[in-house]
Structures are given as C-alpha cells and as structure tokens.
Amino acid sequence: MSDTIRHHPMTRRQFMRVAASATAVSAIGPGRRASAQTRPRRTGGTFISAKTTEAPSLDPILEQALSQHRVSPLFYNRVVEWGADGKLEPALAESWTTSADGKTWTFKLRRGVKFHNGREFVADDVKYSYERILDPKVGSGGRGYLSAIDQIEVPDKYTVRLHTKEPSASLLAGMAGGWSAIVPREEIEKRGDLRRAAVGTGPFIFQEWVPQSHLKGRKNPDYWDKGKPYVDAVELKVIPDEANIVAQLRTGNVHHALLEDNKNYFLVKDDKRLATLRSPRLGFDMVNVNHGRKPFQDVRVRQALSLAVDRQEVLQAAASGLGTVTGPLTPAMKPWALPVETYKEWYTPNPERAKKLLADAGFPNGFKTTLKVIPTFPTMVAGAQVIAAQLKKIGVDAQIIQEEYGVWIKAIIKPSFDFDLTMNITNGDADPDSLLYRRFHSVEKQWNNDGDPEIDALLDQGKLTVDPAKRKEAYDRVQRLMVEKAIQIWTFSPDLIDITQNYVHYEQHFTTNYYGFRTVWLER
C-alpha cells in the first residue's frame, strides 16, 4: 500500500450504509416458497425460461433494451456486483480500498479468471471496458454510470486504479450496474461489437441465439464462483403470446416465466403445480415527454398533462392493481424514495386546473399529439389507452402509435428523440445517481432531450456528496422538483411476478433487474 493510497474506512462505511439501506426493502414479496433454502441442492438439468420479447442485440454496453440487461449476468461479470442481501460484493475484484481524499479507488482483481474464449481476465480488460463505455463516440447508455471516473491506471496485471475528480458515493453502484460488464478487447476488435454473441466471464457460456426463437447457454466449468451454476444449461424461449407461456407452464414444458402482463398472475396463483414469487420492483412505467418538441418545452403544458393523469386508474388497467403508484424513485428504493403523498398536488387528478394551465400556455382548445407504445409490452398498451382517454378530457388528442421493439428503441433514444410522448418502462437502479443522472442530467439527457440547471445542480450534489444525510437531502429536493416541473410523467411500479414449476428453486435477483439463473436448481 503506497503512502498516498490507504484504506479509508469512513468513506467506504458511509457508502455501504447508504447502499445497503437503499436497497434492503427490494426483497421478497408474497408467494415465495420458504423451503427453497432448506433442501439440499441438486445439480444438473437444463433450465428453461420463457419470455414474450427479446432484445435486438446482446451487446452489454451498446444495447438499451431491458431484455438484454436481464440476461447479461448469465454471460458477464462486473468488477463488483450486488449480492442477494442487497450489499455490494466483490466479483471480478477481490477487494478494494479508497484514498484518504476519497478520489482514488484501487481494486485488486481476482486471479485465474478466464473469458469464455480461454484467455485470462486481467486489469487491462477493466480499463478497456470502462474506457469503451465512457467514450462518447461509442454511444453507450451506461456512460453516466461511470462518469465520475477521470482516469484509469493499471499498475500491474491484477490491479486497477480509478481516479475521480471528486469523491463519488455512487461509483461502486455504477460499476455494479447493468451497463458495466467486462468484455475482452480482442472479441470487440474481431467482431466490431458483441451484438450477435456473448463472450464474458459469467456462469454460462454462450451457445446459440436464434432471434425470435431461443437463446442457449451451457454451464461454464471454469466459473470462478466455485460450485455455481447448479444447472448444466439454460434456454430462454421466446413465446410472444403470454397466454401460451402460461399454458406451457401448466403442461410443464417450461420451468419459469417472468410475467409481462400482471393480470395473468390471477390465472396461476392457485395452481398447486406452480409457485409464484411477487417482488417490489426498482423499475417503473412512465410517459417520456420530448422537451425538444413543441409544445412540451412549456412547463405549463407538461404540468397539465401530469394533472390529467389518474395514476391509480392507470395502475389498475395496466397491471391489474398489482403494484404501487410511484414518483421518480420507486417505493422499493428506501430510504431514498419520498412517500407518494409528497406529490399530492400534482398526483391528484385535476382536469379544470389542467385546462387552465393549457389556456395560459396558449392552448385553450388543447392540441394533437402522438403517444408511442410497443405492442408486445402489455402494460404499455393498456396504460396508453387509459392515459390517452384521460388526456382527451383536457382537450389533448393523443394518437397511439405502435412500433416494433427495435424500431421504437432507435426512435426514442439519443440522438434520435423521434417522439412526442411515449410510454416507457425501465428496470430502475438501486442507487439514485445511477437511476437519474444518465437519464436527466444535461450532460446525458437520454430520455427527455433536455436538461434543467436546478435539477443538474442537485444531481451533481447527489453524485459528489458522500455524507448520507446530505445526499438524501439532495435527492429529496430533486424528486420534488422533477415532479413539479413534470419533466416526465411517472405512473406506477408494477410488482415483478415470477412463475416457476413447484420443484424449481429460484431466487429473483434482489435488484429485480436480472434473472437469478446463476443459483437456480431443479429438485427433479
């Protein structure tokens, strides 16, 4: 340990206290089988899961789709990862220290880890992966996760040193985030990207991907987390009709499905052949508002839209009431999330006030606009119909436009921003900086095509402040401000509902963002 780099327990402790408490309640919902951890584990077998949609590509750094983020941990690792108890744990790093000023982080990496192509994982791979994510020309949506990093050093083969301009309370959370997978340079250079294959250090080795059919992986016999995974192989089937997935569960043809349409929970909850697991999500549904198009630059117009929406009605229609109304941070993100009652002024439907705001903005008779949805996302479709009807009551005629998943993603993200309003779903994040900065800070502005100086200042404060109380104060203020300025319309956080055969022992990843296939096992 050098003179300038030493263990700094206060910074780490402060961070871990915040990180752990922030996520501890994103845990087990009703329906989980208590016996899952009490029986001796069996190994072997092929675990089959079904889903309605899949991502257009598999690249962990370039692909925006939630469907890719869910499968990424099957094939990739991060330097640090979220553990089952909601704490950040060593993964590709065995340990780390921070300097006294909190601006230098030194990670000691695990030795003997191999990529699936047979080459040893070393410190240069972390440097390469992070620099690729941070390069604006690459266009990774995860750039904001790592934006605190100013410089990356590789003192030796198994050590990485990250220098930040200021102390960062969210750096570790960003490194554990969905975009921060470590990839081998030579595979990118050979293939151009990893859209069509997966080559990481994860528990499963990529075997085959047939789009709109299936994705297969086999057990990594050299996986560094000894003993895992427990099954020999995984297969993810794509079955666009969720009613068909429910039928496949009932006949035992698939082991697991994560419901997209929560109303299907009522079809299976009493079936003794199946087990259900309901979890509060970090993620949520919302309406993105394009501030780059008229008339949405006008805060009065956005506030009018917000006042027109009855969020409870949207939750009931879109997710059968299985979930909670949410603000910018979901209730699962305790202690960060403010109670939804905080937003009473803007969350209580008030068509008359909404009409007055529209009139003041120059639209006494309302206006026409469009509202995009992905047809294979049932909460989007059902939510859009309700919201369009609610907007109609204040004179806003929102034409619903359905777009295929891949087309929709290209249209709505930076730099396209080809939408007026769009339904959207996010997997959320465990840390407020990871969730909010890359989406709303002016430097990133990935969702709304806009930035706001007041919001920027609070997001900067939240990113740089390591004192938990002061950090919470910044995020309390920014949540209120985001809702008041209606920078987008938050609606609800649906429960995450996994269905498995009753002989499957499955644990949903605590963040609810990733499939928990690393530890799944089959009792028979």
Give the pLDDT confidence score for residue 69 in this predicted structure. 87
Give the pLDDT confidence score for residue 511 in this predicted structure. 76
Structural tokens at position 518: 């690393």
Give the pLDDT confidence score for residue 144 in this predicted structure. 84
Find all residues with CB under 8 Å of 191, minimum gap 6, and list them. 197
DSSP-assigned letter for residue 279: E
> 318: burial class by Cβ within 10 Å (0-12, 13-18, 19+)?
buried
Contacts 24+ apart (CB under 8 A), 401-408: 401/370, 401/371, 401/372, 401/373, 402/372, 402/373, 402/374, 402/375, 403/372, 403/373, 403/374, 404/374, 404/375, 405/53, 405/55, 405/56, 405/65, 405/374, 405/376, 405/377, 406/56, 408/372, 408/374
CB atoms within 10 A of CB 35: 9
Q: What are 172-227's pLDDT values in tens digits? A: 999 998 899 999 999 999 999 999 999 999 999 999 999 999 999 999 999 999 99
CA angle 115, 116, 118 (to 5 degrees): 70
Give the confidence band of 449 by pLDDT, cuts at 50, 70, 90. Answer: confident
Give the confidence band of 243 by pLDDT, cuts at 50, 70, 90. Answer: very high
Category of 173 on φ-ψ map: left (φ > 0), alpha (ψ -120 to 50) or beta: alpha
Structural tokens at position 474: 């910044």
| 3-class DSSP state of 160 | strand
**Does position 513 have pLDDT exceeding 60, yes or no?**
yes
Average confidence (pLDDT) over 227-238: 97
**Does position 335 have pLDDT exceeding 60, yes or no?**
yes
Distance CA 249, CA 273 (A): 9
Distance CA 497, CA 474 (A): 32
Give the pLDDT confidence score for residue 512 in this predicted structure. 75
Average confidence (pLDDT) over 390-395: 98
Task: Give φ, ψ of 331 to 5 degrees.
Answer: -55, -25
**Does position 499 have pLDDT exceeding 50, yes or no?**
yes
Distance CA 522, CA 518 (A): 12
CB 215, CB 197: distance < 8 Å: no
DSSP-assigned letter for residue 350: -
**Does position 454 have pLDDT exceeding 50, yes or no?**
yes
Average confidence (pLDDT) over 507-518: 82
Give the pLDDT confidence score for residue 6 in this predicted structure. 28
Average pLDDT, the chain: 90
**Does position 30 have pLDDT exceeding 70, yes or no?**
no
Give the pLDDT confidence score for residue 509 in this predicted structure. 77
Average confidence (pLDDT) over 253-280: 93
Q: What are 350-376's pLDDT values in tens digits? A: 999 999 999 999 999 999 999 999 998
Distance CA 89, CA 462 (A): 22
Q: What are 37-89's pLDDT values in tens digits? A: 567 889 999 999 999 988 889 999 998 888 888 899 999 999 999 887 778 89
Average confidence (pLDDT) over 409-419: 89
pTM tops 0.95:
no
Please name which of 418, 449, 453, 455 lies closest in space to residue 436, comparing C-alpha atoms. Answer: 455
Cα-trace Rg, the chain: 23
Please name which of 36, 45, 67 lies closest in space to residue 54, comparing C-alpha atoms. Answer: 67
Average confidence (pLDDT) over 379-399: 97
| 3-class DSSP state of 494 | strand
Give the confidence band of 11 by pLDDT, cuts at 50, 70, 90. Answer: very low
CB 187, CB 117: distance < 8 Å: yes
- Residues recorded for the chain: 524
CB 283, CB 328: distance < 8 Å: no
Task: Give φ, ψ of 162 to 5 degrees.
Answer: -105, 130
Give the pLDDT confidence score for residue 247 in this predicted structure. 96
Structural tokens at position 378: 């049932």
| 3-class DSSP state of 16 | helix
Give the pLDDT confidence score for residue 195 in this predicted structure. 94
Looking at 143-147, 225-229, 313-317, which range is the least confident one? 143-147
Structural tokens at position 23: 């996520």
